């Protein structure tokens, strides 16, 4: 274990770099052989106390199967080692609650931020850009907590209902129609306009760089919770800062997935599976503690949340490095 997800305050987690390749038009059989030979070549460089691969973008719909192949091939060399990958199928040692983890982490992050400002999720209006695994889970959990989801977009289009979209119905619609377009309980809008809809909290949950100088001035939300990786570019960051918009940075806000990957590793190491309720509760504890630590860093250094989060992470790694000594 050489690298810590320091902001998320994970004390033992190995580096969880995302592994994936665009399956493109490879057959499943070709993908299996590719994955196995790749694992043969790196088997000495990964390990339960070295580096622990996890899924990331581009791994395609069979990603859990891919993790299973890595586990199986690795185990030929090192014996059965479920902790060597995370994001595994539950039947091979995956964690309950892993699917929803990033979305659930976004909820906990938003809660922590709103509580800090004397609010709760209940009654707030949310606009969510992106309705994949992260966005749809966030929407569902926000809805359960009494939040109003007023606008949603995905690659098929965007919809809006200022009274709040009925999320369970939307999820059913999406499952059937492979996209939000055509949902009866909301009005179609220009996909681009989701980001500048009237709302309290904006959750960009798709690609990077979507909030930039072209639209930053038009954003109406008071809070942005970055569920995607680097959705806000530096120029937009500065514009929004001047406007008083509070941004909860990605490095903290979308860390729920990697955190539950760490819990999966812990369960594998301990040989004992957690119930889903425990997974969710411990995730909440980590996310809440993380927000408090970031906030404290902001006070000490009088900086915004993004700088506070980076400072927190860098400090933790630096302190560990110094403690290891000069001949490390």
| Residues found near a second copy in the complex (CB under 8 A) | 1-2, 11-13, 29, 32-33, 36-37, 40, 47, 49-50, 64-65, 68-69, 71-73, 76-77, 79-82, 89, 91-93, 265-266, 268-273, 316, 319-320, 323-328
CB of 32 to a second copy, least distance (A): 5
Interacting residues of 166 by C-beta distance below 8 A, sequence separation 6+: 185
Residue 248's DSSP bridge partners are: 225
CB of 31 to a second copy, least distance (A): 10
CA 8 from chain centre, in angstroms, equals: 12
Q: Which is nearer to a second copy, 82 or 231 (CB)?
A: 82
Query: How would you class 325 by CB atoms within 10 Å of its CB: exposed for 0-12, middle for 13-18, buried for 19 or more?
Result: exposed
Instruction: Give me the long-range contacts of 171-174 (CB less than 8 A, separation at least 24).
Output: 171/136, 171/139, 171/140, 174/131, 174/136
> Exactly one of 16, 88, 148, 160 is catalytic; which is it?
16
Q: Which is nearer to a second copy, 189 or 273 (CB)?
A: 273
CB of 274 to a second copy, least distance (A): 10
* Distance of alpha carbon 140 from alpha carbon 171, whole angstroms: 8
CB of 74 to a second copy, least distance (A): 11
DSSP one-letter string for 190-237: -GGGGGGSS-SEEEE-S-TT-BSTTTGGG---SEEE--SSS-B-HHHH
Told to judge if 243 belongs to the known catalytic residues of this protein, a careful annotator would answer no
Do residues 254 and 287 touch, judged by C-beta distance below 8 A? Answer: no
Q: Which is nearer to a second copy, 49 or 178 (CB)?
A: 49
Q: Which is nearer to a second copy, 40 or 217 (CB)?
A: 40
Q: Which is nearer to a second copy, 65 or 156 (CB)?
A: 65
CB of 296 to a second copy, least distance (A): 16
Please tell me what DSSP assigns to residue 13: P
Question: Computed over its alpha carbons, how large is the radius of gyration of the chain?
Answer: 20
Q: Which residues are catalytic?
A: 16
């Amino acid at each position: 274990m050489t690298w810590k997800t320091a902001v998320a305050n994970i004390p033992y987690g190995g580096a969880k770099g995302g592994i994936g390749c665009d399956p493109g038009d490879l057959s499943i059989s070709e993908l299996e052989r590719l994955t196995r030979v790749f694992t043969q070549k790196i088997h000495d460089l990964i390990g339960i106390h070295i580096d622990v691969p996890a899924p990331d973008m581009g791994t395609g719909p069979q990603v859990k199967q891919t993790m299973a192949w890595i586990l199986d091939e690795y185990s030929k060399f090192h014996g059965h080692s479920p902790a060597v990958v995370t994001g595994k199928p539950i039947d091979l040692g995956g964690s309950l609650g892993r699917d929803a983890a990033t979305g659930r982490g976004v909820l906990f992050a938003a809660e922590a931020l709103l509580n800090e400002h004397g609010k709760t999720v209940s009654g707030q209006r949310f606009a969510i850009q992106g309705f994949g695994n992260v966005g749809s889970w966030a929407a569902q959990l926000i809805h359960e907590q009494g939040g109003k989801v007023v606008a949603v977009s995905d690659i098929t289009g965007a919809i809006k209902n200022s009274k709040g979209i009925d999320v369970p119905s939307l999820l059913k619609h999406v499952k059937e129609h492979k996209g939000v377009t055509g949902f009866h309980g909301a009005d179609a809008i220009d996909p681009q306009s989701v980001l500048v809809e009237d709302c309290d909290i904006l959750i960009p949950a798709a690609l990077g760089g979507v909030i930039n100088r072209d639209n930053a001035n038009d954003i109406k939300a008071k809070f942005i919770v970055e569920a995607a990786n680097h959705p806000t570019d530096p120029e937009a960051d500065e514009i929004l800062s001047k406007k008083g918009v509070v941004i909860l940075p990605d490095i903290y806000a979308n860390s729920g997935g990697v955190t539950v990957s760490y819990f999966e590793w812990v369960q594998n190491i301990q040989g004992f599976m957690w119930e889903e309720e425990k997974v969710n509760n411990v995730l909440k504890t980590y996310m809440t503690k993380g927000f408090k630590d970031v906030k404290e860093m902001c006070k000490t250094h009088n900086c915004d949340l993004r700088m506070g989060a980076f400072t927190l992470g860098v400090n933790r790694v630096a302190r560990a490095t110094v403690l290891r000594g000069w001949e490390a």
